[in-house]
Amino acid sequence: MEYAVRGPIAIRAVELERELANGAQKPFPNVIKANIGDAHAMGQKRITFIRQLLECIANPSSMKIDKTLPSDVIEHANAFIGSCRGNSAGAYSRGTGVEVVRKHVSEYISRRDGGIPSNSEDICLSRGASESIRNVLKLFINRNNSIYRNKKKVGIMIPIPQYPLYSATIGEFGLGQVGYYLREVSNWSLDEAELERSFNGHRKEYDIRVLCIINPGNPTGQVLSRENIETIIKFAHKKKLFLMADEVYQDNVYAQGSEFHSFKKVLVEMGEPYSKLELASFHSVSKGYMGECGMRGGYVEFLNLDPEVYALFKEMISAELYSTVLGQAVIDAVVNPPKEGEPSYALWKKERDAVLASLKERATLVEKAFSSIDGISCNPVQGAMYAFPQITIPQKAVEIAQSRNQHPDFFYAMELLESTGICVVPGSGFGQRDGTYHFRTTILLKPELFKDMLARFTDFHAKFLAQYK
C-alpha cells in the first residue's frame, strides 16, 4: 500500500523544516507546503457559525454564560444535543449517526438536487468521507472467490490520475485496480471508449463490479459536464456496475460555465432503467468553504442498495463504534446553515462567500502562472483545490531517475524541494499516462506565498532544464 500525498517528499519537507528551525543553512528561508488540500493548515479562517456551534455542543454551559452567542446558534446546538444520547456529545451516537443530522443531510441533498427526495434512512455519517469510501469498498472484499481460492479478484474501476485513497485501499483490501485514463487534452474529461478499453482490458483478470468517479476531480480539478455524467451512468448500467461518486468538492466549482451535477440527480432524472442503478455518493466537511479536515465529518448516501447488504453495512459500522460526534456537529452546521433573517446569516454568508471568492481567484492565478512557464502546461482549474500541471523532463534527468529506481517526476519534485523548499506531490503518486510527468500543487496558498513559490519555481525549472538538457 502506498499513499503518495504523505510519501517520502512530504516526510523530507518536515525534516527540512526541522533543520531550518535548528539553524541549518539552506538555499531557501522556509518550506512551502503546496502538497496537501488542508485549508486550515494553510491559514484559512474558521467559519464563526461552525465554531460557535461546536463551542455550545462541547460545553453547553457556555450557552448560559456567553451572552454574545447568537440565538440561532443556541437553537441549533440544543436541537443537536437533544438528539444525542444522554444529551451529551460525549455519548456514542447511533451506528448511522445522530438522528437530527441525518435528517438535515437528507433535506440538504433534496434542496441541492432540485427537490428530488432523499431519505434520512439511506444516509450514514462517518469520520470524514474517507471512512465511508473505505467501508463501501469493504463490501466488495470477496474472500470466497478471490485471494483465498486464487480465482478472480473483484475489480474496482478508478480514474487515472486518482486520489490515492482509492489505490491504497484497493491494495489493502486485496481488490483489483482497474484504471481508466482521464483525457488531459480535453480538460481531464472521461470518454466512453476509454471506459470500454479499460473494462475489456481487465475483465479476464478481474471480476469488475464497481466504477468510482471523483467529481470535481482530485488531483485534476475538472468538473464533469452533465453529458459526461450521463455517458458514465449508461456505461455503468451496461456493465452492471455499482457506482461510487466522490463529490467532496461539490461546493468548489470556479470556472465560468462549469456547474456541479450530482450523480444522484442525473441518474434519477434519466429515469428507468438508469434510476435503478446502485449508487453510493460521498460528501465531507473537509473541503468546500469550511475546510474542517481535522473535525473528521462526512457521509454516504445510498441509492437502490440491496436491503440485506445495507443491513450488513450498518452492522459493520456498528462494530467500529460509530463516528465522532463533534464531527457530526460540523456536518450539521454545513448542511443546515443559518437561514436568511436569522442572526448568524449575514456573517456566515460573508465568511463563506469570501473563502469561495478567494479560492476562485487563486484557481485562475495558479493555472495562468504555471501555463506561462516554458515546458509546462496546465489545464484550467475548474473546481476542487488543485492544479495538476504537466512538466517536460529532459531525457538525461529521466535516465538518472531510472538509474536510481525513481519515477522521473519524483526525482524532479525531490530536486525542487531540496533546492527551493517547495513541496509538491509528483504525478506518479496519482497515476498518469506513461511518458508524461506531472505534479500536483494545491491552490490553497495565500497569494503572497504563491508569488514567492512561483518565483522560486520558475528559477528552479529553468535551471533544471539547462542542467539536464
- Contact by Cβ (8 Å): 206, 153: yes
**Which residue's entry shows cell 490553497?**
444
**In the complex with ligand PLP, which residue's Cβ is closer, 70 or 297?**
297
The residue (of 56 and 98) whose beta carbon lies closer to ligand PLP is 98
Is 129 near ligand PLP (CB under 6 A)? Answer: yes
Question: How many residues of this chain bind ligand PLP (CB under 6 A)?
Answer: 14
3-state secondary structure of 92: coil
Per CB under 6 A, the list member of 96, 118, 120, 130 interacting with ligand PLP is 130
Would you tell me how many other CB atoms lie within 10 Å of the CB of residue 443? 26
Which residue in 34, 232, 248, 334 binds ligand PLP (CB under 6 A)?
Answer: 248
Does 163 interact with ligand PLP (rule: CB under 6 A)? Answer: yes
The residue within the footprint of ligand PLP, chosen from 34, 293, 333, 334 (CB under 6 A), is: 293
The span of 10-18, 43-51, 74-82, 127-135 binding ligand PLP (CB under 6 A) equals 127-135
DSSP class per residue in 243-289 = EEEE-TTTT-B-STT-----HHHHHHHH-TTGGGS-EEEEEESSSTT
263 binds ligand PLP (CB under 6 A): no
Would you give the binding string for ligand PLP spanning residues 23-52, x where CB under 6 A is met? --------------x---------------
Piece of 99-107, 126-134, 223-231, 363-371 that binds ligand PLP (CB under 6 A): 126-134
Are residues 298 and 134 in contact, defined by beta-carbon separation less than 8 angstroms?
A: no
Rounding to the nearest 10 degrees, give the CA dihedral for residues 220, 224, 228, 233: 100
Nearer to ligand PLP, 56 or 355 (CB): 355
Which lies closer to ligand PLP via its Cβ, residue 159 or residue 408? 159
Cα separation, 33 vs 422, in Å, equals 6
Beta carbon nearer to ligand PLP, 163 or 181: 163
Residues 6+ apart with CB under 8 A from 279: 242, 243, 244, 245, 263, 264, 267, 302, 303, 304
Instruction: Write each residue from 211 to 230 as x if it is in contact with ligand PLP (CB under 6 A), else as -, in one continuous string.
Output: ---x---x------------
Span 373-402, contacts to ligand PLP by CB under 6 A:
none
Strands 437-442 and 153-160: unpaired
Q: Could you tell me which of 268, 275, 322 has the C-alpha nearest to residue 299?
A: 322
User: 38: which residues sit within 8 A by CB, 6+ positions away?
Assistant: 286, 291, 293, 444
Interaction site with ligand PLP (CB under 6 A): 37, 128-130, 163, 165, 214, 218, 246, 248, 284, 286, 293, 298
